[in-house]
Amino acid sequence: MFTKVIQHENQTSAVMKLDFEKYPGPIFATDGSIAWSRTHSQVPVVLAIDEDTLRVYYATRDDHNISRVSYFDVSANNPAKVLYRHNEPILEPGPLGSFDDAGVMPTCAIWSNGQIFLYYIGWAVRASVPFQNSVGIAASSDGINFSRVVPGPTLGTGPHDPYFVGTTWVENNNNKIFSAYYMSCCGWLNEQDKPEPVYDIKYAQSRDGINWQRDGTIIIARDEIDQAIASATIFSEKRSSHILYCSRQAYDYRSKKGVSYRIRIATRAEDGSWRKSSEERFVPSGRKGDWDEGMQAYPYVVRTDKNVYLFYNGNGFGQSGIGFGRILFD
């Protein structure tokens, strides 16, 4: 079922090595047959519903390019096996004029006190630049019927985030401290007469997962290689912690595969900082004509009793579907 494609060495430890086994194709893609789901299966967010089932929330777009959230279920033992596809949205855009009236996308799902918190990206249209993102939060007791916890964003612009915030990974530490690793836009570049945003990954803390304290701490900083960084997702093994993220160049990333999103890795050092791998990518590009030949984006890690899986998007920001692989530890 899997093909071993690459081995990675943890550069902060001579002991730990990571193997990545990649499933050779997408497991799910929108077929365009439903009016609210014409294109894209974007930003997979995966939650273990029980020991046998993983629920994959994703964003899909209608004829007007407006995103909604739905889901499908896969086997926890074999994620290539789709068990169920939901045929309705579970989260719609917000009311006119709200922070999420132009679309919604999932970004993280966690359990908290017996309910599911679904963090999602809200889209709003701007005049001087194409868009602005903020992060909202919805809650559910069954993982299907969600309601917004608060009407406004739980993470939005502020003193340390003047432009916008986007993809966010949240960790629940025994319902006492919640940690957020979030994408923060650090400016718009306009060198080619088309504004393009660039991002860092920053850190925030909360006691309830709703109200956040931020001080501008940058976890993963943009540089010449990673000019825009998004979708942090964290996993740990044997006292070694890793962040997977996707990064791109500032320009031409929509159509030029050499500068589009690729998935990279950073490892937590003994001093608490996160050190990027010198390797160009964690997930290798697909072969010519493959679903992920030109892009690997929006990584999301989920741990089951037996495996650590990485879900991600391929070409076209999710137009070609959702795939996965397995992370192995030496």
User: What does the alpha-carbon distance between residue 20 and residue 39 come to, in Å, rounded to a whole number?
Assistant: 29
133-188 pLDDT, tens digit per residue, is: 999 999 999 999 999 999 999 999 999 999 999 999 999 998 889 999 999 999 99
Residue 88: how many other CB atoms lie within 10 Å: 11
Give, in degrees to the nearest 5, the angle at Cα 283 between 321 and 172. Answer: 80
- The count of C-alpha atoms lying within 13 angstroms of the C-alpha of 117, restricted to the half-sphere facing its C-beta, is 22
- pLDDT single digits (tens) 273-296: 999 998 888 998 889 999 999 999
Tokens of 58: 């994703």
Q: How far apart are CA 183 and CA 230, in angstroms?
A: 6
pLDDT of residue 15: 44
- Are 246 and 226 contacting, i.e. CB atoms less than 8 angstroms apart? no
Which pLDDT band, with edges at 50, 70 and 90, does 10 fall under? low
> Which secondary-structure segment (H or E) carries 168?
strand 165-173
Q: Domains of the chain (ranges plus CATH)?
A: 3-329 (2.115.10.20)
What average pLDDT score do residues 197-212 get? 97
Rounded Cα distance, 116 and 127, in Å: 35
Confidence of residue 238 (pLDDT cuts 50, 70, 90): confident
- Give the tens place of pLDDT for each residue, 18-68: 889 999 999 999 999 999 999 999 999 999 999 999 999 999 999 999 999
